[in-house]
Copies of this chain bind each other. A is one copy, B any other.
Amino acid sequence: MEPADVWGARWDACDNTLARQYMEVACSKQSLVILAADLNTMSGLNDLVDQVGPHIAALKTHVDLVDDWTAESWAGLCEKAKAHDLLIFEDQKFGDIGPISRGQMAGIYDIRSWANIVTAHGISGPDIVDGLCAGWTDVGREGGVLLLAQMSSRGNLLGLPGYTDEMIRAGVSNSGVFGFIGNGSRANELAELRQKVGNQKLIWTPGVNLAVGDGEMGQRYGDPRDAVLAGSDGIIVGSGIYKSDQKDEVAKAYADISWQALLERSDI
Q: Which of A39-96 contact B (CB under 8 A)?
A: 40, 62-67, 69, 91, 93-96
Q: Which of A84-133 contact B (CB under 8 A)?
A: 91, 93-98, 100, 103-104, 106-109, 121-127
The chain B residue sitting closest to A63, CB to CB, is: B107
Number of copies of this chain that the complex holds: 2
Query: Across the interface, which residues of B come within 8 angstroms of A121, CB to CB?
Result: 95, 121, 123
Which among B67, B151, B170 is the interface contact of A155 at CB below 8 angstroms? B170
Tell me, yes or no, whether A166 is within 8 Å of chain B by CB: yes
Contact yes or no, A122 B157, CB < 8 A: yes
Query: Across the interface, which residues of B come within 8 angstroms of A151, CB to CB?
Result: 97, 123-125
Query: Across the interface, which residues of B come within 8 angstroms of A162, CB to CB?
Result: 157, 160-161
In whole Å, how far is A93's beta carbon from the nearest beta carbon of chain B? 4
Contact yes or no, A125 B38, CB < 8 A: no
In whole Å, how far is A76's beta carbon from the nearest beta carbon of chain B? 16
CA distance A64 to B101 in the complex (A): 10
The chain B residue sitting closest to A217, CB to CB, is: B99
Query: Across the interface, which residues of B come within 8 angstroms of A122, CB to CB?
Result: 157
Contact yes or no, B95 A40, CB < 8 A: no
Tell me, yes or no, whether A154 is within 8 Å of chain B by CB: yes
Contact yes or no, B124 A153, CB < 8 A: yes
Tell me, yes or no, whether A167 is within 8 Å of chain B by CB: yes
Tell me, yes or no, whether A27 is within 8 Å of chain B by CB: no
The chain B residue sitting closest to A107, CB to CB, is: B64
Which among B123, B126, B148 is the interface contact of A158 at CB below 8 angstroms? B123
Which among B65, B107, B125, B154 is the interface contact of A157 at CB below 8 angstroms? B125
In whole Å, how far is A54's beta carbon from the nearest beta carbon of chain B? 27
Q: Which of A161-177 contact B (CB under 8 A)?
A: 161-163, 166-167, 170
CA distance A148 to B97 in the complex (A): 12
Please list 15 pairs of residues, one from A and one from B, whose beta carbons are closer than 8 Å in the complex, sorted by A's number. Answer: A64-B104, A65-B107, A93-B94, A94-B95, A98-B153, A121-B121, A121-B123, A122-B157, A123-B148, A124-B151, A125-B156, A127-B154, A157-B163, A160-B162, A163-B163
The 10 closest A-B pairs by CB, nearest first: A125-B155, A125-B156, A93-B95, A64-B107, A65-B103, A95-B95, A125-B153, A97-B153, A69-B108, A64-B104
